[in-house]
Amino acid sequence: MSILDDHDLRAAVVATAQAMNAAGINRGRAGNVSARLAREGVDGFLITPTGFRYEAMRADDIVVVLQDGTSRGPHLPSSEWRFHRDIYGARPEVGAIVHTHAPFATTLACLDRGIPAFHYMVARAGGSDIRCAPYATFGTQELSDHAVRALEGRRACLLAHHGMIAVGATLESALELAIEVETLAEMYWRALQVAEPARLPDGEMAVVLDKFRTYGQPRRAG
Ligand SMILES: [Zn+2]
């Protein structure tokens, strides 16, 4: 396992934030990206600063937020630092978080709709659906509490009248999942123009979830 020094991790947070806009899953200054600090004796994370143009962002602009809510750096952290802190606190396996206002995911979220099991790839987010957390004002503890609850047993959720969150062990996996969720949201939205699509049965989603446990993994000896 490679241990990134802070500078490399800061640069990776910037690259992920820029990639999120380049991939079309976020626009302008919306959204934010964080990565857990894996340094000995440090309980905190790196996060993009508030209201900053991603194209102009550099590694030194990234803010450190500790689990006690204090921050260090030349800028204020993203206004959504609370849900990042609380997700890291609740989910030890999470190493990175991507939050975007992806157009299709946010369209569904504005209709208070999550993404049901209309397609087997919904299981990539960890369960048989992708929930939509109830609305609360951005930056509040209430929104954070809703987000942590909607992510229980999942790696992604929508936020009503706001956007979406995807988490992963790494920045790459969180970004990849955010792109997958937006792809699913677009397909579900398109299907809804014709009719509400049929749901895959729970038993089938359980089979798919089980298959995903080994999907993309190298073959193990023995
Ligand atoms: Zn947001």
- Check residue 220 and give its pLDDT: 66
Q: What is the pLDDT of residue 144?
A: 98
DSSP conformation letters of 128-184: S-B-EEPP--TT-HHHHHHHHHHTTT-SEEEETTTEEEEEESSHHHHHHHHHHHHHH
Instruction: Please check whether residue 165 is in contact with residue 88, taking contact to mean a CB–CB distance below 8 angstroms.
Output: no
Q: Identify the pLDDT of residue 132.
A: 98
CB 154: neighbour CB atoms within 10 A?
Answer: 18
Task: Give residue 66's identity as a one-letter amino acid code.
Answer: L
How many angstroms separate the alpha carbon of residue 155 from the centre of ligand 1?
17
> What is the reported pLDDT for 40?
76
Longest CA pairwise span in the chain (Å): 54
80 flagged as catalytic: yes
Distance 165 CA to ligand 1 centre (A): 9
Residue 150: left (phi > 0), alpha (psi -120 to 50), or beta?
A: alpha
User: How many residues would you count in the chain?
Assistant: 222
**Ligand 1 center to residue 22 CA distance, Å?**
17
CA of 30 to the centre of ligand 1 (A): 6
Q: Are 156 and 177 in contact (CB under 8 A)?
A: yes
Query: Which residues does the chain have with pLDDT short of 70?
Result: 1-5, 220-222
User: Which DSSP helix (H) or strand (E) runs through 65?
Assistant: strand 63-66
- Ligand 1 centroid from CA 159, angstroms: 9
Residues near ion ligand 1 (Cβ under 5 Å): 163
Of 40, 55, 80, 186, catalytic: 80
Cα 137 to averaged position of ligand 1 atoms, centre (Å): 10
For residue 11, what is the enclosing H or E element?
helix 6-22
Beta bridge partners of 166: 98, 156
